[in-house]
Amino acid sequence: MKESRTLPTDYVSSPERTSSGRTLRTDEMILNMGPQHPSTHGVLRLELVVDGEIIVDVIPHIGYLHRCFEKHAEHMTNYQQVIPYADRMDYLSSMCNDWAYALAVEKLLKTEIPERVQYIRLIMAELQRIASHLIAVGTYAIDMGAFTPFLWCFRDRERILDLFEMTCGARLLYNYIWVGGVSHDLPPSFVEKAKEFCRDFRTTLKEVHDVLTYNEIFIKRTANVGVLPKDVAINWACSGPMLRGSGVDWDLRRDDPYGIYDRFEWTVQVGKGEMGTVGDCWDRYIVRMREMEESTRIIEQAVESVPEGNVQSSIPKRIRPEAGEVYVRSESPRGELGFYVISDGTASPYRVKARAPAFVNLSVLPEISRGAMVADLVAIVGSVDIVLGEVDR
Amino acid sequence: MEELLRSLIGESWILYLLLAAPPLVFILLYALVTVWTEMKVSAHMQDRLAYMYTGFHGVLQPVADILKLLQKEDTIPTAADRPLFVMAPFLVFIGMYAGFAALPFSSAYIGSNINLGVFYIIAVSSIGVVGLLMAGWASNNKWSLFGAMRSAAQIISYEIPIALALLVAVMITGSLNLQDVIRYQEGGILNWIVFGGPQPLVQKLLLLPFTVTAFFILFIAGVAEVNRTPFDLPEAESELVQGYNTEYSGMKFAIFYLAEYANMFLVSGIAACLFLGGWSSPFGELMSGPLWGVFWIVLKGYFFVFLQIWIRWTLPRLRVDQLMYTSWKVLIPFLFVCLFCVGLILVL
């Protein structure tokens, strides 16, 4: 940690001279942002070295929410039992976590997944992506001082949670996508309600665009702030909207396909630097907004054609995959969520390692926030869209 | 009213107490109403209902809130500078209340009818800054200090556009006495200074663009002066936790809040007095008189309070440097142009 506290090369301290010509000693202040701070989105602690309002350095301290997910996973008596823990990693996109873990174990087992399950999983994951991005956008609005779009976002997220609740009874931690299938079938009115949601949701998106996206103050606060250039983004292994915001056209749903994404018509959204530089906060924000639009398109196409069938494939209650190892990655709302699972042939995994996108994306924070102002740091942290549950696991 | 009271009780301290009381009563009542309004307006903008249980649509909620704040433990952080910490909220309140002294509520009532009313209000409203700085410093909290520093810089910067915008109106009326300024605008909506004042038609039309600009700038700078979104940087909750009032709780916190709400009305009231005819009726003789005067100024002031609430729940917040930029490089140059042109038109 100590090495990172060197000053950036372009930083010039500003000694102020008094009338007698002596230099007034100015000092940097160390400011603790978090773990209880409204804009660190959880229990992140940022140690800021500030010169007035200018940030000289940022040192993120993580680990306040560490719950030993990986160790827990090794001590389960069944592969299925890991899923509730995976739920709790990124608690804003539990469905996507479950799916990624289930994909990994299914790859170990080499099972075939029923067609209906494929559709249900995809619909759920995309609904979850919208719900997660709504929180990202809504809390970002709050970070910028705009309170109203936040509640509009939450109002619509609530409707997604209602859809989840009628399907599996839970609103946050679903334990829905299991290895080999899903826990419950879709309720009869689900398709109708999902369509209704997609229709109404476009209005919300338009409202948020009107009041926030193209608001002059919002643009001033986010454009050209926290610019993450393409090469830096790739070097730091950023993924998800963070990477796409920097103009890298990379989406695992298309580039390393899983599920049935290839059957639907949608496009990968990348930041184009419309309001400033490619890779600034506004680009990351707009990528999320446009991804919600794309997810709505995917859902609309998918609910039209959900086939009939079983929602559980016939796998034994106690799974014992052959010894071996597998790494499966998927596109969670925050980026590349990978599960590396090693099996030793017993009923519980020998090792589960999660590659958490929020953790990797957060690590680039000091790189892009040196020289910014304290208010900009809030904008940058918000645009990274971290979930501390996933950073710390 | 002053003469009446003077003849009744004579020259004594009771007289001054009675004369000083109406603004205080007004501030307290107004704060109750505005807290409720703000919650309801924001809630309806956000698809919520807000208070619904305490009384009809929660009208009693502000009372309940005050009772709660009164009962709260009055905590002072151990590391705080106690005397300054305790004094700060009251100083902020004094700055605001002193401003109300020169705000005319009707043709018959003004706390103190001084000839330099406009100048006086600009001067005393800056006392609040000292209070904010005190609060930030005495809290011994880095976030509070940040907030206090920001608020000092902000309020000092925005005093200038306010003063310049008021000067535009003062140049037209030729008086710094607020009662005189209002009497000058009597006789209906078209005589208001925002529409060029009661000048001959040609001069009026020439003045119109500049008075409107000055009025808008006055309103914008007024919002900044009272630290409301989009200029609420001193208490930016997402950046500075709560800025200078992070460490305050209970009644001291309530007094900060009260001062903020009252300040909202003060800047609105001054804008209304100088540009919108203050207590004079928009329909000329119709509905005018001392009591109607109270109605009109409260209505005009409250309209801008509502506008401030509306803006607050719509716009995001500016950044410190952008805030300074807006004041020094946008508002002030515009006002210099306004001042120059208004002067030229009046001379010609």
pLDDT in tens, B191-226: 888 887 777 788 888 888 888 888 888 888 888 888
Whether the pLDDT of residue A74 is over 70: the answer is yes
The rounded percent of chain B whose pLDDT value lies above 90 is 0
Average pLDDT of span A222-235: 88
- Number of domains forming the structure of chain B: 2
Q: Which residue of A has its CA nearest to B236?
A: A145
**Across the A/B interface, how many CB contacts are shorter than 8 Å?**
79
Whether B59 maps to a domain, the answer reads yes
**C-alpha dihedral (B192, B193, B194, B195), degrees to nearest 10:** 70
Phi-psi category of residue A142: left, alpha or beta, with phi > 0 → left and psi -120 to 50 → alpha: alpha
Average pLDDT of span B32-45: 88
CA pair distance B117, B105, nearest whole angstrom: 13
Q: What is the pLDDT of residues A171-213, one digit of tens each?
A: 888 888 888 888 888 888 888 888 899 888 988 899 889 888 8
Q: Kind of pairing, strands A177-178 and A181-182?
A: antiparallel
Query: How many helices and strands, by DSSP H and E, does chain A display?
Result: 15, 10
Q: Spell out the residues 6+ positions from residue A46 whose beta carbon is closer than 8 angstroms to its own.
A: A32, A33, A34, A40, A58, A59, A60, A61, A365, A377, A381
Whether the pLDDT of residue B294 is over 50: the answer is yes
Q: Which residues of chain A does B322 touch, with a Cβ-Cβ cutoff of 8 Å? A: 217, 220-221
Whether the pLDDT of residue B160 is over 50: the answer is yes
pLDDT tier, B118 (very low <50, low <70, confident <90, very high otherwise): confident
Nearest by CB to B239, from A32, A218, A375: name it: A375
Question: Which residue, among A245, A244, A251, A238, has the nearest Cα to A360 in the 3D structure?
Answer: A238
Contact predicate A160/A140, CB 8 Å: no
The CATH architecture of the domain made up of A69-392 is: Orthogonal Bundle (1.10)
Touching check for B317 and chain A: CB below 8 Å? yes
Task: Write down the pLDDT at residue A131.
Answer: 92
Whether the pLDDT of residue A75 is over 80: the answer is yes
CA pair distance B308, B222, nearest whole angstrom: 10
Closest CA–CA distance from residue A338 to any residue of chain B (Å): 32
Average pLDDT of span A286-314: 87
Amino acid identity, residue A213? T
Whether the pLDDT of residue B128 is over 70: the answer is yes
Task: Write down the pLDDT at residue A287.
Answer: 92
The residue among A46, A148, A376 with the most chain B CBs within 10 A of its CB, best to mutate, is A148
The residue among B319, B322, B323, B326 with the most chain A CBs within 10 A of its CB, best to mutate, is B319
Q: Are residues B62 and B206 in the same domain?
A: no
Q: What is the pLDDT of residues A278-288, one digit of tens each?
A: 888 899 999 99
Question: Which residue, among B305, B269, B291, has the nearest Cα to B181 in the 3D structure?
Answer: B269
CB count in 10 Å sphere of residue A10: 7
Q: Are residues B208 and B338 in the same domain?
A: yes
Is A244 exposed, middle or buried (CB count within 10 Å of its CB: 0-12, 13-18, 19+)? Answer: buried
Contact predicate B115/B32, CB 8 Å: no
pLDDT tier, B236 (very low <50, low <70, confident <90, very high otherwise): low
For residue A55 the two structure tokens come to: 């940030």
Closest CA–CA distance from residue B134 to any residue of chain A (Å): 19
Touching check for B323 and chain A: CB below 8 Å? no
The residue among B42, B144, B242, B315 with the most chain A CBs within 10 A of its CB, best to mutate, is B315
Closest CA–CA distance from residue A275 to any residue of chain B (Å): 17
Question: Which residue, among A312, A369, A384, has the nearest Cα to A47 in the 3D structure?
Answer: A369
Q: Are residues B245 and B188 in the same domain?
A: yes
Q: Are residues B41 and B151 in the same domain?
A: no
In chain A, where the domains are located: 2-61, 69-392
For residue A134 the two structure tokens come to: 């709504």
Angle at A45 between CA A42 and CA A47, to 5 degrees: 155
pLDDT tier, A133 (very low <50, low <70, confident <90, very high otherwise): very high
Whether residue B238 and residue A29 make contact (CB cut-off 8 A), yes or no, is no
Task: Write down the pLDDT at residue A23.
Answer: 61
pLDDT tier, A29 (very low <50, low <70, confident <90, very high otherwise): confident
Contact predicate B105/B21, CB 8 Å: no
**Three-state secondary-structure class, residue A285:** helix
Q: Are residues B55 and B150 in the same domain?
A: no
Contact predicate A198/A300, CB 8 Å: yes
The residue among A147, A154, A155, A200 with the most chain B CBs within 10 A of its CB, best to mutate, is A147
Q: Which residues of chain B does A152 touch, with a Cβ-Cβ cutoff of 8 Å? A: 46-47
For residue B207 the two structure tokens come to: 């003045």
Q: Are residues B151 and B251 in the same domain?
A: yes
Q: What's the mean pLDDT when you consider all of chain B?
A: 83
Whether the pLDDT of residue A4 is over 50: the answer is no
CA pair distance B266, B274, nearest whole angstrom: 12
Whether residue B315 and residue A37 make contact (CB cut-off 8 A), yes or no, is no
Whether B9 maps to a domain, the answer reads no
Could you give the count of Cα atoms lying within 13 Å of A306 in the half-sphere of its Cβ? 25
Amino acid identity, residue A371? G
Q: Are residues B312 and B226 in the same domain?
A: yes
Whether the pLDDT of residue B334 is over 80: the answer is yes
Whether residue B314 and residue A148 make contact (CB cut-off 8 A), yes or no, is yes
Q: Which residues of chain A does B38 touch, with a Cβ-Cβ cutoff of 8 Å? A: none
CA pair distance A42, B246, nearest whole angstrom: 19
Q: Kind of pairing, strands A29-33 and A45-51?
A: antiparallel
Domain that holds residue B57: 24-71
Question: Which residue, among B69, B71, B48, B70, has the nearest Cα to B58 in the 3D structure?
Answer: B48
Closest CA–CA distance from residue A29 to any residue of chain B (Å): 9
Whether residue B318 and residue A376 make contact (CB cut-off 8 A), yes or no, is no
Rg over alpha carbons for chain B, rounded to the nearest Å, is 21
pTM of the model: 0.84
Closest CA–CA distance from residue A33 to any residue of chain B (Å): 9
Q: How far is CA B153 from CA B91, B147, B254, in A?
A: 18, 10, 24
Contact predicate B247/B144, CB 8 Å: yes
Task: Write down the pLDDT at residue A24.
Answer: 60
CB count in 10 Å sphere of residue A264: 17
CA pair distance B177, B121, nearest whole angstrom: 11
Task: Write down the pLDDT at residue A20.
Answer: 56
Closest CA–CA distance from residue A125 to any residue of chain B (Å): 27
Contact predicate A291/A129, CB 8 Å: yes
| 3-state SS record for chain B | CHHHHHHHHCCCHHHHHHHHHHHHHHHHHHHHHHHHHHHHHHHHHCCCCCCCCCCHHHCCHHHHHHHHHHHCCCCCCCCCCHHHHHHHHHHHHHHHHHHHHCCECCCCCECCCCCCHHHHHHHHHCHHHHHHHHHHHHCCCHHHHHHHHHHHHHHHHHHHHHHHHHHHHHHHHCCCCHHHHHHHCCCCHHHCHHHCCCCCHHHHHHHHHHHHHHHHHHHHHHHHHCCCCCCCHHHCCCCCCCHHHCCCCHHHHHHHHHHHHHHHHHHHHHHHHHHCCCCCCCCCCCCCCHHHHHHHHHHHHHHHHHHHHHHHCCCCCCCHHHHHHHHHHHHHHHHHHHHHHHHHHHHC
Least confident range from A131-145, A360-374, B236-250: namely B236-250
Whether the pLDDT of residue A275 is over 60: the answer is yes
Whether B322 maps to a domain, the answer reads yes
Whether the pLDDT of residue B33 is over 80: the answer is yes
Contact predicate A240/A269, CB 8 Å: no
Whether the pLDDT of residue A25 is over 70: the answer is no
Whether residue A221 and residue B239 make contact (CB cut-off 8 A), yes or no, is no
Residues of A with CB under 8 A from a CB of B: 29, 31-32, 37-39, 53, 141-148, 151-152, 155, 211-212, 215, 217-218, 220-221, 373-376, 378
Q: Are residues B55 and B203 in the same domain?
A: no
Closest CA–CA distance from residue B302 to any residue of chain A (Å): 22
Does residue A167 or residue B207 have the better pLDDT?
Answer: A167
Task: Cite the DSSP H helix spans in A215-280.
Answer: 216-222, 230-235, 241-245, 252-255
Average pLDDT of span A78-86: 86
Touching check for B237 and chain A: CB below 8 Å? yes
Q: Are residues B117 and B176 in the same domain?
A: yes
Whether residue B314 and residue A374 make contact (CB cut-off 8 A), yes or no, is no
Touching check for B47 and chain A: CB below 8 Å? yes
Q: Which long-range contacts (CB under 8 A, 24 or more apart) does B280-286 make?
A: B280/B182, B280/B183, B280/B185, B280/B186, B280/B187, B281/B188, B282/B188, B282/B189, B282/B192, B283/B188, B283/B189, B284/B187, B284/B188
Q: Are residues B62 and B123 in the same domain?
A: no
Whether the pLDDT of residue A17 is over 60: the answer is no
Whether B2 maps to a domain, the answer reads no
Whether residue A221 and residue B313 make contact (CB cut-off 8 A), yes or no, is no
Whether the pLDDT of residue A317 is over 80: the answer is no
CA pair distance A288, A269, nearest whole angstrom: 8
Contact predicate A291/A139, CB 8 Å: no
Average pLDDT of span A76-105: 88
CA pair distance A245, A290, nearest whole angstrom: 11
Q: What is the pLDDT of residues A342-387, one digit of tens each?
A: 988 888 888 889 888 988 888 888 888 888 888 888 888 888 888 8
Touching check for B12 and chain A: CB below 8 Å? no
Whether residue A375 and residue B319 make contact (CB cut-off 8 A), yes or no, is yes
